[in-house]
Amino acid sequence: MTPPSVVLLSVGYECFPTVDDLLDVLLAAGVERVVDVRDLPQSRRPGFSRRALESSLADAGIVYEHRRELGNPREIREIYRAGDVAGGRERYRAQLLGERAWALDALAAAAAERPTAMLCLEADQARCHRDVIAEELARLHPAIRVD
């Protein structure tokens, strides 16, 4: 089997005290594009809402894209927050593979074009919809590995 030739970085900004800390990691990894997979790119944490984050990334030479179609809607986020990670994953996967399946192809194409990171809040990918995205990308696009 051929090893993956494209690496997509998966990042939860919850573990970064500041945007500069996030930028340090992204730049060290050679990331040139950040795909924000939050449903709503808002944050109570300074610097992590869409406009501020986009500006900071641009200053560092990193392209920002918000992909709401990959976001986890409130009703499914609430399932995760209630501690039912398996239930949340099941509901998110059904949504993703239904009307939003095209978004996985778009993310794969973006990652193949330039070094890319997908970003949302949750630090622990295993408790996040990013994990479902990673699994489905691996299944549908075996040339991509999510780290």
Phi, psi dihedrals of residue 119, rounded to the nearest 5°: -135, 140
Torsion of CA 134, 128, 38, 36, to 10 degrees: -40
pLDDT digits (tens, 9 = 90+) for 36-72: 999 999 999 999 999 999 999 999 999 999 999 999 9
Cβ neighbours for 122, distance < 8 A, ≥ 6 positions apart? 12, 14, 128, 130
- Percent of the chain at pLDDT exceeding 90: 95
pLDDT digits (tens, 9 = 90+) for 91-147: 999 999 998 899 999 999 999 999 999 999 999 999 999 999 999 999 999 999 999
Tell me the C-alpha distance between 81 and 128, whole Å.
10
CB 117 within 8 A of CB 28: no
- pLDDT, residue 5, reads 78
CA atoms in the 13 A half-sphere facing the CB of 116:
21
* Tokens linked to 24: 């340090």
- Rounded to a whole number of angstroms, the distance between the first and last alpha carbons of the chain is 19
- pLDDT, residue 3, reads 53
